[in-house]
Homo-oligomer: A and B are copies of this chain.
Amino acid sequence: MVTKVAGTIGARNPAVVRARVLAALGAIIERDGLARLGVNALAREAGCDKVLIYRYFGDLDGVCREFAQSRDFWWTLDDLVQGLDPAGLSRTRALQVLMRRHAAAIRSRPTTLAILAHELTERSTLAIALEEVRETRTLELFAWIGERFDLPAAVDLPAVSLLLGSAVNYLAARGRDVSVMGGVALRSDADWERILSAIDALIAGVVPPQ
């Protein structure tokens, strides 16, 4: 009897520990990046013994898999097209709005930005999860656009989207720790307005209002 020495954090409740581990994973990714993620660091952050991680999740990859399922790394189609009336918008304006919403959605997800940054270096579990959701959502969006607007055959929509989307992803990830690039600031929303305006112009140039 007696003792009850150690300050058990989970108080014999595995669900609490699991939740803490998952939360800690997010915290580490956002603060230090995926490169500094490890079982030891994760256990430290979660305030639990690393043995529990192995017991509950198998290994670090198991934690990542579960983490990926518990979060939405990407916008949904509804996020992007919500309240958007195809009849009241020119196709040009519609594409511009979609691109702006994409940028806003990405920039507001620090975890996603960290994964985007890391996937250029290593093909981790989280990178693969992000890749999958991104591909499916992108296809959904393309389908949605294709059903509502007809685009000039001359414009290669996938290629243009890939280009502008890549630029947004790259600059959003880069803007986390660099404030200015090529004479263009990346930090504040006001800075981003300049970039988004340029995107507007590029879209307007390549797909004129019908």
**What residues make up the interface of A, taking CB atoms closer than 8 Å to B?**
33-35, 116-123, 131, 135, 138-139, 154-156, 158-167, 169-171, 173-174, 177-178, 181-184, 194-195, 197-199, 201-202, 204-206
Q: Is B182's CB under 8 angstroms from A138's CB?
A: yes
Chain copies in the assembly?
A: 2
Pair B163/A167 contact, Cβ less than 8 Å: yes
Residues in B whose Cβ lies below 8 Å from that of A117:
120-121
Bound complex: CA A183 to CA B141 (Å): 13
Give the most central of A118, A120, A184: most B CB within 10 Å: A120
Query: With A and B bound together, what is the CA distance between A25 and B138 in angstroms?
Result: 39
Of all A-B residue pairs in the complex, the 7 with the closest CB atoms, nearest first, are A205-B205, A159-B198, A117-B120, A170-B170, A167-B167, A205-B206, A166-B167
Q: Which residue of B lies closest to A181 (CB)?
A: B162
Residues of B within 8 A of A160 (CB): 198, 201-202
> Among A139, A164, A197, which residue has the most Cβ atoms of chain B within 10 A?
A164
Contact call A158/B177, Cβ cutoff below 8 A: no
Once the chains bind, are A202 and B206 in contact (CB under 8 Å)? yes
Query: With A and B bound together, what is the CA distance between A117 and B170 in angstroms?
Result: 10
Docked CA distance A138–B181 (Å)? 10
> Is B194 touching A159 in the complex (CB atoms < 8 A)?
yes
User: Which listed residue, B118, B158, B170, B202, touches A183 by the CB 8 Å rule?
Assistant: B158
Choose from B123, B158, B181, B198 the contact partner of A184 (Cβ within 8 Å): B158
The answer to whether A162 touches B156 (Cβ under 8 A) is no
Tell me the bound Cα distance from A117 to B122 in angstroms. 10
A55 to nearest B CB, angstroms? 29
In the bound complex, residues from chain B placing their C-beta under 8 Å from that of A169 are 170
20 contacts between A and B (CB under 8 A): A33-B122, A34-B121, A35-B35, A118-B121, A120-B120, A123-B177, A131-B178, A138-B182, A156-B197, A156-B201, A158-B182, A159-B195, A160-B201, A160-B202, A161-B182, A162-B181, A166-B171, A167-B170, A201-B206, A205-B206
